[in-house]
Amino acid sequence: MTPPSAGVGTPDVHPTPTTSRQSGPPLLEVRDLVKHFPIRRGILGRTVGHVRAVDGVSFQLWPGETLGLVGESGCGKSTTGRMVLRLLEPSAGSVHFDGADVLALSGARLRAMRRHAQIIFQDPFSSLNPRMTIGAAIREGLTIHRIAAGEAADRRVRELLSEVGLRPQFADRYPHEFSGGQRQRVGIARALSVSPRLIVCDEPVSALDVSVQAQVVNLLQDLQRDRGLAYLFIAHDLSVVEHIADRVAVMYLGHIVELASATDIYREPLMPYTQALLSAVPVPDPTVRSTRVVLSGDVPSPANPPSGCVFHPRCQHPRKDEACTKLVPPLEEKSAGHWAACIKQPPTTVHWEVQKAAGGTRQPERYLPDL
Amino acid sequence: MTPPPKGADAPGAEAPLLSVTDLRTYFHTNNGVARAVDGVSFTVAQGETVGLVGESGCGKSVTALSLMRLIQSPGRIEPGSSVRFEGTELLTLSEADMRRVRGNRMAMVFQEPMSALNPVFTVGDQIAEVARIHSRASRRDAWRQAVAMLELTGMPAPEQRAHEYPHQLSGGMRQRVLIAMALMMNPALIVADEPTTALDVTIQAQILELLADLQRRTGTSILMITHDLGVIAETARRVIVMYAGEVVEQSAVGPLFATPHHPYTEGLLAAMPRMGRRRDRLRVIPGTVPPPTDWPTGCRFRARCQYSWDRCANEHPPLYDLGDGRRSRCHLAVEPGRRAHPHEPLAAQAVPAR
Ligand SMILES: Nc1ncnc2c1ncn2[C@@H]1O[C@H](COP(=O)(O)OP(=O)(O)OP(=O)(O)O)[C@@H](O)[C@H]1O
Ligand SMILES: Nc1ncnc2c1ncn2[C@@H]1O[C@H](COP(=O)(O)OP(=O)(O)OP(=O)(O)O)[C@@H](O)[C@H]1O
Ligand SMILES: [Mg+2]
Ligand SMILES: [Mg+2]
């Protein structure tokens, strides 16, 4: 039997995490999204198991909002981003964009949706066609979606290039003539070209030095202010996420384990994984030796996730006990708008009686290490 | 000729492991000559970690590829450049000897993992291949070593992952495959081009610890190219800052962060978002870097510099030697009254380096 995912798998019991600040309908609504990749072995390609890359993820995103998505490498962030745009078919779950059921769209309506929801890819090298000039790559979207043609399209391409800090005369050069960071900016220009309403940004600035990064982050924020763009912002750089995100979702092994406003999550991380993550951020000051919560224990495999709380083998919460290995912690609202999946951080809907029945020996108690 | 064993004709303990002198790597394109790396000199001592930072497109990766002699046409390492490694001039080695250096003594972790991995082989095979070439291990042993190395890099379920193809792995997992391949050969120098940017900070910490540990055990040197100034602060002893194909500042890590001596470095540090200090807008360095086909005369940073004056337009600044291992390519660095960075007055009496 497979345990239900961390609370997000049962929407009728646990509501989709949301925040009271938002009004109106969300632009994007993701519910119980699941992606299992088959593991194949041998010449016959027999399926010997499944990688549970995304295992029941739910969130909402409003126009003009930025949701940061952070977490361990391989925890399913890119997979989630790709499913949102249906570049990858989910195994289960639903995605609604502007009220429309994305998974039911096809033909012209799917194309229209793709215009309004763009992606900036993590690895610019593999997302650009080596035989196409970067000008042509940026122009492609303008033509496909009949936004501009001829001289007007050329002008728009030049504008976009300078918006991302590249020289307009670079338009007729090929991807291999650029540095990693320059290629990344071509990807950004391409996403912006069709004036989308949502951009899934998969590590959009990690290839950039901090001054170009600041330029791009400011540009993204300006566009958001002027056009009400929404971003799903996937990144490993937690200081950039703190700067740009309104809310932050932390993923671990295919699950969202914490979701709160950026302010709350950085000031008061409740899920022990989030605590470890924040404490591992290197401090840009050579005179400071950082105090790290060092994660011990093996990195678990999404093909064979631990029982109970998926983080329990590496958890440093002093109240961790037998119950954590048995009970799947629901993603629950610990305080207004602050959702976390940990039965040892009070308050919890998993009552002490239930924990005891599952072998629990230590009552929940608030734990917040010095970061 | 085979490269001599480690440090064979090094004239004493002082000789650096790597010494790059006046490296010029130009791309002869239809749009003109792109002077991507334009007279770069630096050294890396044995067991040392040197950080290399700078504006995107300033020539860091091209520098790294030049050390490995992996520059492809229309790129060319220009005559007069020198890369001495373990006492041998690499730029005149035969291709066969150079291949031996690359396979044994100097390893590179590439910036874009997909560009360095072969899509039709499993990652385990690709790592094992390194072990087989390097230590002549049997097929079976090589595979075992590959899996063990993957495990050291924090790869979950390494045995299973080794059977997978690059496209089946996440971005950070691919990067760890490259790191495993580099570590596999136990090299004297690791050139790591953005080795941890695709990794979350906990895995990053683990990889940095792994590198530090390797360094302690085997005295490996590391040239660490990264945009993450936090990683630089934690790992590097010295830092080289590049701008527009040149080294513009060089310093021990502490003083560089405390008192940058070049306006570009100053701008870089100011642009950095810092955790716990959220602000409305990030500071930027206004303007963009000029194209490498048309470096301006005078100082190449001039058009974006808040301190520039007439001398900057007319005279290309040399890399001034400021003493204590500090160098800066800014005329103001030797004008104590008009120092570029707003921090402290300059202590040493400086003279131009060349
Ligand atoms: N095409 C695929 N076939 C099989 N497994 C896959 C495929 N794509 C992704 N996976 C697996 O799904 C899991 C999640 O991958 P994903 O790329 O979403 O991670 P991520 O959170 O974006 O990581 P990173 O931060 O390293 O980019 C990983 O275990 C990965 O190996
Ligand atoms: N094959 C090529 N043809 C023409 N120009 C090239 C070629 N390869 C690189 N360049 C140019 O050389 C310059 C230096 O590139 P390099 O990749 O070294 O930058 P970088 O400092 O590593 O930047 P990043 O931080 O973005 O990775 C860039 O301006 C780039 O456009
Ligand atoms: Mg990813
Ligand atoms: Mg580079």
Dump pLDDT digits (tens) for A141-173: 899 888 888 999 999 999 999 888 888 988 999
Q: How far apart are CA B196 and CA B153, in angstroms?
A: 11
Whether the predicted pLDDT of A56 surpasses 80: yes
pLDDT at A12 over 80: no
pLDDT, mean over chain B: 86
Distance from CA of A11 to the nearest CA of B (A): 28
Distance CA(A340)–CA(B68), nearest Å, equals 48
Ligand nearest to the CA of B199: 1
Radius of gyration over alpha carbons of chain B, in Å? 21
What is the model's pLDDT at position B137? 85
DSSP β-bridge partners for residue B38: B24
Report which DSSP code applies to A280: T
The preferred substitution site among A57, A73, A75 for testing ligand 1, maximizing ligand atoms within 8 Å of CB, is A75
Q: How confident is the model at residue B37 (pLDDT cuts 50, 70, 90)?
A: very high
Look at residue B258 and tell me whether its pLDDT is greater than 80.
yes
Q: For chains A and B, what is the number of CB pairs under 8 angstroms?
A: 196
Confidence at A21, pLDDT banded by 50, 70, 90: low
Q: What is the per-residue pLDDT across B156-195, written as a single tens digit (0 to 9) for each?
A: 889 989 999 988 888 788 888 998 999 888 899 999 998 8
Q: Return the percentage of chain A with pLDDT > 90, whole number.
A: 56
Query: Is it true that the peptide bond before B74 is cis, omega within 30 degrees of 0?
Result: yes
Chain B: give the shortest CA distance to residue A263, in Å.
Answer: 9
Given a cut of 70, is residue A86 above it in pLDDT?
Answer: yes
ipTM, interface predicted TM-score of the complex? 0.80
Contact at 8 Å (CB) between A132 and A70?
no
In the β-sheet with A92-97, what is the strand arrangement from edge to edge? A46-61, A28-41, A92-97, A100-101
* Residues A59 and A95 sit within 8 Å (Cβ to Cβ): no
Q: Which ligand is nearest to the CA of A209?
A: 2
Per-residue pLDDT at A298 exceeds 70: no
Judging contacts by C-beta atoms under 8 Å, the chain A residues touching residue B284 are 211, 214-215, 218
- Contact by Cβ (8 Å): B19, B91: no
Which among A122, A179, A238 has the least Cβ separation from residue B57? A179
Confidence band, pLDDT 50/70/90 cuts, at residue A211: confident
Mean pLDDT confidence for B205-232: 88
Q: B344 by DSSP, 3-state: which?
A: coil
Write down the mean pLDDT value for chain A: 87
Alpha carbon A197 to its chain centroid, in Å, reads 17
Task: Check B201 against A277: CB less than 8 A apart.
Answer: yes
Determine the 3-state secondary structure of B343 from DSSP: coil
Q: CB–CB of A41 and B163 under 8 A?
A: yes
Side by side, the strands of the sheet bearing B106-109 are B106-109, B189-193, B221-225, B49-54, B238-243, B246-252, B326-328, B320-323
CA atoms within 13 A on the CB side of B117: 31
The whole-angstrom separation of Cα A93 and Cα A97 is 14
Chain B residues lying within 8 Å of A123, measured CB to CB: 112-114, 171
User: What number does the ligand 2 atom closest to the CA of B37 have?
Assistant: 14
Per-residue tokens: A172? 């007729």
pLDDT of residue A183: 85
Residue B240 scores a pLDDT above 90: yes
Report d(CA B135, CA B123) in Å as an integer: 18
Residue B73 in contact with residue B262, Cβ under 8 Å?
no
Q: Which of A37, A237, A266 sits opposite B276 (nearest CB)?
A: A266
Across A213-217, A297-301, B33-37, B269-273, the highest mean pLDDT is recorded for: B33-37
- A48 CB-side CA count, 13 A: 9
CB within 8 A of A290, min separation 6: which ones?
A279, A281, A282, A283, B234
In whole angstroms, what is the distance from residue B251 CA to residue B265 CA? 11
Cβ A76 vs Cβ A35: under 8 Å: yes
Residues across chain A: 371
**Mutate which of A47, A174, A188, A211 to disrupt the B interface (most B C-beta within 10 Å)?**
A211
A39/B160 Cβ within 8 A: yes
